[in-house]
């Protein structure tokens, strides 16, 4: 049985950088706590990679939000404000690891190196998943709450049994921790010491339901202790803390010590989706407070103060982000090629007689429509 103290999260969220970009080193108590828990601020080279990923990821996010207003996307759940939670955990993954994202994690998919148009295919309504899950080691984005944690636990246990050395990272939101699949996935992973890391992006709202109305837990990270799972809570708007905590979690799981539950305290700056009006359930004062904790601004201020980043490099990456967004915009405005017959694919391994009948009916209607649009001339018809 594990020592319960080794499972408990830090009493306060792990943080290296204050909102203004200064370090928490001025507080000896905080520094000693972080050192005792094995955390250290990442190297500047690694933080520069996280900063660049967030700049490009945020520009992608803004572009995707605009595409909903132009009718090119059916829906888009923005992750602006949660940038550090999207970028740092993915950059810390290895090639052999798997990612299990939710519908809000498109920025994470782009950070993973997935083609942005393929990442947006689901949200455009073209297909269930636009990218190859096996080739990218990234499961399709999951809309039902927490169901992908069960899949992630199974994948993690499969990697353990095969000895691949890989880990599975499952993203969920705060509301998803109230679902049964969260319990089942964590319990299974704990019993079998599966290398699973679950990252809860606690953005304070399950759509419009505030956290206080869905959980009495002092912090969601404490839920892991009940399963015998090592747990941690971290300032999700501090990119340095996110990278350090996630690396530690992966190392713990990869070493065969079982799963880890990480709660990242963060905030989504946009509404739940383009179909939501967030002003009905949160105040402008609350939004303003979190605006002052912006993860991109925070890390940029730290790197500039350290002399690791200057205006020339900032402008260079901004131009890269604009070019990235322009490419997404151009390709998303092209009309997709769709095949109505694809409706009948991947429903059953062996189509039922009823499904084959329906498919033939649609095929005949398509052929009839094509004939009506391009009728064969009578003289040509007569020669047939």
Number of other CB atoms surrounding residue 341 within 10 Å: 11
Largest CA distance in the chain: 94
Q: Is 137 designated active site?
A: no
Q: List residues bridging with 92 in a β-sheet.
A: none
Torsion angles phi and psi, residue 91, rounded to 5: -65, -25
Beta strands in the chain (DSSP E): 98-100, 168-173, 196-202, 205-206, 209-210, 230-235, 260-265
- 281, 282, 313, 329: which is the annotated catalytic residue? 281
Q: Answer yes or no: 268 catalytic.
A: yes
Point out the catalytic residue in the list 59, 104, 112, 268.
Answer: 268
Query: Which tokens sit at 161?
Result: 């049994």
Residue identified by tokens 């994202």 is: 101
Task: Give exposure, 39-76, as e/b (b: 16+ Cβ within 10 Å).
Answer: bebbeeebbbbbbbbbbbbbbbbebbbbbbeeebbebb
Helix (H, G, I), strand (E, B) or coil at 223: helix
Structure token pair of residue 138: 């990234």
Whole-angstrom Cα distance, residue 167 to residue 165?
Answer: 7
Gap between the Cα atoms of 22 and 34, Å rounded: 16
Task: Tell me if residue 313 falls in helix, strand or coil.
Answer: helix
Kindly list the distances between the CA atom of residue 228 and the CA atoms of 9, 173, 335, in Å, as whole numbers in the listed order.
12, 21, 51
* Active-site residue identified among 137, 247, 254, 272: 272
Quote the CA–CA distance of 316 and 327 in Å, as a whole number.
Answer: 17
Whether 265 sits among the annotated catalytic residues: the reply is: no
- How do strand 168-173 and strand 98-100 relate by DSSP bridges? parallel
For residue 35, how many C-alpha atoms fall within 13 Å in the half-sphere facing its CB?
Answer: 8
Of 270, 262, 221, 223, residue with least CA distance to 243: 262
What is the spatial distance between Cα 283 and Cα 288, in angstroms, rounded to a whole number? 9
CA distance 271 to 278: 5
Give catalytic residue positions. 268, 272, 281
């Amino acid at each position: 049985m594990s020592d319960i103290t080794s499972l408990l999260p830090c009493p306060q969220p792990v943080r290296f950088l204050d909102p203004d970009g200064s370090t928490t080193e001025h507080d000896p108590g905080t520094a000693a706590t972080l050192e005792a828990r094995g955390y250290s601020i990442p190297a500047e080279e690694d933080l520069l990679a996280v900063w660049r990923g967030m700049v490009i990821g945020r520009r992608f996010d803004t572009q995707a939000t605009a595409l909903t207003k132009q009718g090119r996307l059916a829906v888009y759940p923005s992750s602006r404000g949660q940038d550090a939670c999207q970028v740092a955990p993915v950059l810390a993954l290895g090639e052999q690891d798997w990612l299990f994202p939710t519908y809000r994690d498109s920025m994470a998919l782009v950070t993973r190196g997935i083609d942005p148009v393929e990442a947006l295919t689901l949200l455009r309504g073209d297909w269930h998943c636009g990218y190859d899950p096996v080739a990218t080691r990234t499961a399709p984005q999951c809309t039902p709450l927490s169901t992908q944690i069960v899949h992630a636990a199974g994948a993690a246990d499969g990697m353990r049994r095969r000895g691949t050395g890989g880990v599975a990272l499952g993203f969920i939101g705060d509301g998803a921790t109230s679902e049964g699949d969260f319990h089942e996935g964590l319990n299974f992973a704990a019993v079998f010491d599966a290398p699973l890391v679950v990252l809860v992006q606690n953005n304070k709202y399950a759509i419009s339901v505030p956290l206080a109305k869905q959980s009495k837990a002092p912090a969601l990270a404490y839920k892991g202790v009940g399963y015998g799972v090592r747990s941690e809570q971290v300032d999700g708007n501090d990119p340095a803390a996110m990278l350090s905590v996630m690396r530690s979690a992966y190392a713990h799981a990869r070493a065969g010590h079982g799963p880890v539950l990480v709660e990242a305290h963060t905030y989504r700056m946009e509404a739940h989706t383009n179909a939501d009006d967030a002003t009905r359930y949160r105040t402008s004062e609350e939004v303003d407070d979190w605006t002052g904790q912006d993860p991109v601004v925070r890390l940029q201020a730290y790197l500039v103060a350290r002399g690791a980043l200057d205006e020339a490099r900032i402008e260079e990456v901004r131009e890269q982000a604009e070019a990235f967004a322009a490419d997404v915009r151009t390709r998303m405005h092209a009309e997709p090629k769709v095949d109505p017959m694809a409706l009948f694919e991947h429903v059953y391994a062996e189509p039922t007689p009823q499904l084959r009948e329906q498919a033939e009916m649609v095929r005949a209607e398509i052929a009839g429509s094509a004939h009506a649009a391009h009728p064969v001339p009578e003289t040509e018809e007569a020669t047939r």
